[in-house]
Amino acid sequence: MSQMPRPDTAELRGKYPGVFERPASARLAMPAMVAAALAIFVYGLVDLDFSPTKLITGMSQLGWITMMMIPPNPGSSFPLYMQALGETLSIALLGTTLAALFALPVSLLAARNIIPSNLIRFPVRRFLDSIRGVDTLIWALVWINVVGLGPFAGVLAIMVSDFGAFGKLFSEAIEAADRKQVEGIRASGGNALHEIRFGLLPQVLPVIAGQVLYFIESNTRSATIIGIVGAGGIGLQLAEQIRVLEWQKVSFLILMILIAVAAIDFISSKLRFAIIGQRAVV
């Protein structure tokens, strides 16, 4: 075995000072960041009234609650809960579809390759951003004020909050579309509307369909919670049963939600693959 020549550490040190002695700022940056993060964390714990006694009593309470949840039992309200679950699924499906319908034309306005002018695009984008900045639950509260308690308010709430998300996602899908088809349509004498219909839409529709399906899936979750503020569906039942401390019914409802979400996940991922096929992974 041949011996490696010993590296001349002193010379190397002279040549590459940065490797041997990192500047103090680089060495201290990580510990300083960790210390700052911890400091804010501790301050947060103090400010938010955390105390070990509270935590322990709460934990034992939670233990009791969990014990009382077993076994899950709907009592005599099973048909009512099934109906509520159906209502939730309806809210998710309808809200998402309406949002997609409304968002499609608006997303065209927010896409750079369709509207090159910043003058229209910028306000449209900010408008969509502000809609997305408001949570679905807040929209639900607002709609309850307008159309009254019930699932219809939930549909409208999901519609409005998804409208913002879809507008952004669709416009990104449109911007990612290939220009060549559009140019081909223009070369054969099509007008702007033809370009969108025959050049862009065939490219973006599968992507959009995939996103809509994904949102129906995730909205099943959102739709379960908007009931908590009174906008219908299974969340309404859940919040009521929690308030009256019927823990066996609560655990049954949670189980129902879990199963429904898993089922919808399964169906929609199957459908997504069927629609987008293999090239889906963009």
Partner 1 sequence: MATAISILPAQQLATLNDAYRKAVARKRLKATVATAVFCAALFIAALGAEVNLHTFFTYFGNFLSYFDRILTLDSGARVWTDPVEWFWGLKKWLRLLGETLLISYVGTLTGAVFAFALNFFAAQNTSPGPWVRFIVRRLLEFARTVPGIVFALIFVIAFGLGPMAGVLAIAIHTTGALGKLFAEIVENADMKPVEGIRSTGASWLSCMRFAILPQVSAGYASYALLRFEINVREASVMGFVGAGGIGQELVVAIRKFYYSDVSAILVTIIVTVFIMDISTGWLRGRLFGKETSR
Radius of gyration over alpha carbons of the chain, in Å? 28
Q: Among candidates 66, 230, 222, which has minimal Cα distance to 142?
A: 230
Q: Among candidates 270, 252, 276, 220, which has minimal Cα distance to 80?
A: 252
One-letter amino acid for residue 72 of the chain: P
Contacting positions for partner 1 (CB under 8 A): 37, 40-41, 43-45, 47-50, 54-55, 58-59, 61-62, 65, 86-87, 89-91, 93-94, 97, 129-130, 133-135, 137-138, 141-143, 145-148, 150-152, 154-156, 221-222, 224-225, 228-229, 232, 235, 238-239, 242, 245, 250, 254, 257-258, 261-262
The separation between CA 119 and the C-alpha centre of its own chain, rounded to angstroms, equals: 29
Tokens describing residue 173: 């899908």
Q: For residues 155 and 98, is the Cβ–Cβ distance under 8 A?
A: yes
By C-beta, is 10 or 19 nearer to partner 1?
A: 19
Cβ at position 132, least distance to partner 1 in Å: 9
The 10 Å CB-count burial string (b at 16+, else e) for 30-40 is eeeeeeeeeee
By C-beta, is 34 or 192 nearer to partner 1?
A: 34
Q: Among candidates 241, 93, 87, which has minimal Cα distance to 158?
A: 93
d(CA 212, CA 269): 12
By C-beta, is 115 or 242 nearer to partner 1?
A: 242
**143-150: long-range contacts, CB 8 A cutoff, minimum separation 24:** 143/231, 144/229, 144/230, 144/231, 149/230, 149/231, 149/232, 150/231, 150/232
By C-beta, is 14 or 51 nearer to partner 1?
A: 51
End-to-end CA distance of the chain: 52
By C-beta, is 177 or 250 nearer to partner 1?
A: 250
By C-beta, is 11 or 47 nearer to partner 1?
A: 47
d(CA 99, CA 178): 25
By C-beta, is 5 or 52 nearer to partner 1?
A: 52
List CB contacts of 275: < 8 A, sequence separation 6 or more: 206, 209, 210, 213
